[in-house]
Amino acid sequence: MKLLLIEDHPLVQIGIKSLFKKKNWSDVKVVSSSEEIESSLECHSIPDLVITDIMLPNFNVFEILLRLDFDFTTTKLIVLSAFLNESNIKDSIKLGANGIIAKGDSMEEIENGIDIVINGQNYTSPSILINFKGMVESRGLSFSMDCLTPREKEILTLLAKSQSIKEISHFLSISVKTVDKHRSNLMRKLDIHTQTELVRYAIRVGLAKA
């Protein structure tokens, strides 16, 4: 698969490239100028996935993509940015983004979101959904159970079976602090505020029996 990464920040470039190296995606092209973007999208080697920031020095990436009128029918598009407001969310939807991910997310969450998009589903960071829920849900980018990491699903299942944090820690051979952090992430992502509500949610989605 071919990846086009539109990003100027060296640390982000390194992080995304290492992520795809782990997935054995060797065809990764990084661009950071308007000329490179246009050249990459107008050539015959169309990427399978475009991951882009919104603002790069001296220009707006969205303006270029809209001007090029690039057909994202066969190319998946993920917007990865630290500057997401109502206007940017609208532009992302207008471009047909399959994923909208906040740079402030952990690398595990970013990888999980990318995997979901690659596998044909839409993804929106929970932190974005909380602030722009109505807007993203109208375009099918709403948050779902699929946005949980495998470890979070595992811990949610164990919590639903009435296992304590200490028991889960022992069972998974991870620290109590790590389990508690995952539980906090689950509550944040699902907009749930108590462990009882977490258990009810797990039962509702079929992870546990009542």
- 130-138, long-range: CB < 8 A, 24+ apart: 130/191, 132/86, 132/89, 135/86, 135/89, 135/90, 135/93, 136/89, 136/93, 136/100
Domain extent for 74: 2-144
Contact 90, 63 (CB under 8 A): no
Last residue of a domain, one of 106, 128, 144: 144
In a shared domain, residues 123 and 194: no
pTM listed for this prediction: 0.66
Measured CA to CA in angstroms, residue 174 lies from 171, 186, 191 at distances of: 8, 17, 25
User: Given a cut of 90, is residue 169 above it in pLDDT?
Assistant: yes
pLDDT in tens, 14-63: 999 898 888 887 788 898 888 888 888 776 578 889 999 988 877 888 78
Q: Name the percent of the chain lying above pLDDT 90.
A: 17
In a shared domain, residues 102 and 168: no
pLDDT in tens, 133-150: 665 655 554 445 666 778
In a shared domain, residues 45 and 80: yes
What confidence score (pLDDT) does residue 63 get?
81
In a shared domain, residues 105 and 200: no
